[in-house]
Amino acid sequence: MTSRMGRRGLLLGAGAMGGALLVDAVALEPRWLDVSRQRVPVRGLPASLRGLTLAQVTDAHLDRLGWLQDSIVAAVQRESAQLVVLTGDIVEHPSKLGVLTEFCRALVATGASVFGTPGNWEHWGGVSLDALGAAYQRAGARLLVNENLVTGGVTLAATDDGLVGAARFARALSGVGGSGSDVALRLLLTHSPAVLDSVAASAAPPRFALTLAGHTHGGQVRLGSIAPLLPPGSGRFVMGWYQTAFGATYVSRGTGTSVAPVRFNCRPELPVFRFDAE
């Protein structure tokens, strides 16, 4: 009798623990934003750009706006971010472009300049780049695809997705390797990070103060420090800081979920970068 009751207690305990983990993975973690603050030292950074703050939103997979998106906008405002970059997989279907515009309007209303790049899911979902660009434009933001521009003394270069898009680095980096005040701070945006290694193997790319990517979701479901499943196009990248031929590279865990609406040991991340003189 005692043994039977002991087994029953173990089963009940295991069931309760499993239920708690399920609640965490489905109801808690996917909405529990982690604002990670990162300092980026830049050699020769002019005084006018010291303290510049940038927030990265990636892999949002927007369906509707809710608690998590409100938390992102509030964090952008609280951190006084001057730049916000959305590095792909923000929407999965043309029907969600209105949600993207609404989200970007809220980000623009914080006073930040907002720029976006495509990810694999925009392509897989049949979202044309023209329609995507128009959705950003309606919010006062801008989509960058295989191009670069200078804004406030910062050079932003951005590519299409390297997994299923047409990432043309030669076009995106055209003119970036020059000298002058417009290249005092150079940033590179792409979505799937594995392409950074494949491009670097065939060319000697210019160096950037910071390269940003996403796509991996940090594994989305992690067992301790292990991410058992990563999407194609991740390569050696999982999350956090890496060195590539382009320079210091950060891969964000992203804010949304893909395939299954769960996160475990892998909270949604809004990385915030502050640039200072080295």
260-271: pLDDT as tens digits = 999 999 999 999
| Residues facing 40 on adjacent strands | 275
Do residues 142 and 112 touch, judged by C-beta distance below 8 A? no
Distance CA 19, CA 3 (A): 24
Q: Output the average pLDDT for the chain.
A: 90
Distance CA 48, CA 34 (A): 29
Tracing tokens 């005692």 back to the chain, one arrives at: 2
Element housing 8 (H / E): helix 2-23
E strand residue ranges, the chain: 34-42, 53-57, 83-87, 113-117, 142-143, 147-151, 154-158, 185-189, 210-213, 240-244, 247-251, 269-277
Do residues 230 and 219 touch, judged by C-beta distance below 8 A? yes
Q: What percent of the chain has pLDDT over 70?
A: 87
Residue from 30, 35, 97 nearest 68 by CA: 30
Q: Domains of the chain by range and CATH?
A: 32-277 (3.60.21.10)
pLDDT tens-digit profile of 115-154? 999 999 999 999 999 999 999 999 999 999 999 999 999 9
pLDDT at 48 over 70: yes
Looking only at the bridges linking them, the beta strands covering 154-158 and 147-151 are: antiparallel
pLDDT tens-digit profile of 171-217? 999 998 654 444 579 999 999 999 999 987 677 789 999 999 999 99
| Residues facing 114 on adjacent strands | 84
Task: Return the number of other C-beta atoms located less than 10 Å from residue 100's C-beta.
Answer: 24
Quote the tokens at residue 192. Answer: 């799937």
| Residues facing 211 on adjacent strands | 188, 249
Give Dmax over CA atoms of the chain in angstroms. 82
pLDDT tens-digit profile of 228-274? 999 999 999 999 999 999 999 999 999 999 989 999 999 999 999 99
